[in-house]
Structure 1
Amino acid sequence: MYSRSENSQVRQDFWTAFGMYMKPVPSATGFRTNGQNYKTGIKDIYFRMRAERDFASIGIEICHKDLEMQQLYFEQFLEFKKLLEAELGESWTWEMHVPNSEGRLISRIQTVKPGPNVMDKDTWPEIISFLKPRIIALDAFWTNIKPAFEDG
């Protein structure tokens, strides 16, 4: 069992290692991609990557407090679903108005890989190989569709 500080340190070490794998990979616009803290540039739209004790996930979270606006953003993403799936090479799960870990309603488009444990360094390559190509594809997708969200 890990203490709170050990738990935090292992997670920090993982994200540092992930950042090292991402460092040589330029974004679709030619700049450096900042993995875990990817900035979409649009308020209330986030790209989230998680590495936990029993899964890894990556996705788009729409966190607008106004549920009608959140639904509007979600529907806007739905218009680009085929483009997203083509860029990713896979289908993701689409959920509108689901509670997040704090109990707040969000909308989410994500994929989850059950199994790997961030606390076990032996599974880090599995987590990294799951997250890395997807954040690269998500970045390329976002570069193409972001203007549609800027105009709205």
Structure 2
Amino acid sequence: MYSRAETSRIRKEFWVAFGQYMKPIRNAGGYRVNWPNYKTGVKDIYFRMKAERDFASIGIEVCHADEELQELFFDQFKQFRKLLEAELGEVWTWALHAENEFGQKISKIEKVLPAVNVMEQQDWPEIISFLKPRIIALDAFWENIKPGFEDF
């Protein structure tokens, strides 16, 4: 078992390593970006990357407190589903009004890599190889469709 401090340290080391690995890569607009803390620039829409003890995941989360508006955002993403899947080269899981780890209702579009552990440094290359192409693809997708979400 790991202590809370050790767990925190290892997770921080992973995200620093991921950030260093991604640092030379510019976004679709040609700008430098802080990949581990990617900002969509649209309130209540987040690109989340997670590295946990039994999985890694990446996804789009719609976190608007108003469930009807959350559904409206989610429906807007559905209209771009084929474009998203073409950019990613794969199909992701779509969940309207799911619950996050804090018990809040969110809607999400995500891909999960099971059976990896961020606490095991030998799993880091696999986790990074999973996250890297997907966050780059999400960024390219977002560059094209972001204007459709800025008017909400």
Separation in 2 of the partners of 1:114 and 1:35? Answer: 22
Deviation per CA, 1:79-136: give whole Å up to 9, x if none: 0000000000000000000110011100000000001100000000000000000000
Does residue 95 of structure 2 align to residue 98 of structure 1? no
1:20 maps to 20
What SS does the corresponding residue of 1:111 show, helix, strand or coil? Answer: strand
Separation in 1 of the partners of 2:118 and 2:60? Answer: 21
1:131 maps to 131
What SS does the corresponding residue of 2:48 show, helix, strand or coil? Answer: strand
Does residue 140 of structure 2 align to residue 140 of structure 1? yes
Listed as ranges, the matches of 1:12-91 within 5 Å are 12-91=12-91
Q: Which runs of 5+ in 2 are unaligned?
A: none
- TM-score (ref. length: structure 1): 0.99
RMSD: 0.6
Number of matched pairs? 152
State the one-letter code of the partner of 1:117: N
Separation in 2 of the partners of 1:64 and 1:36? Answer: 22
Question: How many Å apart are 1:31 and its aligned residue?
Answer: 1.0
- The share of aligned pairs that are identical, in percent, is 67
Separation in 1 of the partners of 2:150 and 2:81? Answer: 18
Deviation per CA, 1:45-93: give whole Å up to 9, x if none: 0000000000000000000000000000000000000000000000000
State the one-letter code of the partner of 1:84: L
What SS does the corresponding residue of 1:150 show, helix, strand or coil? Answer: coil
Deviation per CA, 1:18-68: give whole Å up to 9, x if none: 001100110001112322211000000000000000000000000000000
Q: Which runs of 5+ in 1 are unaligned?
A: none
Separation in 1 of the partners of 2:71 and 2:104? Answer: 14
- TM-score (ref. length: structure 2): 0.99
What SS does the corresponding residue of 1:36 show, helix, strand or coil? Answer: helix
Name segments (4+ residues, structure 1) moved above 4 Å.
Answer: none
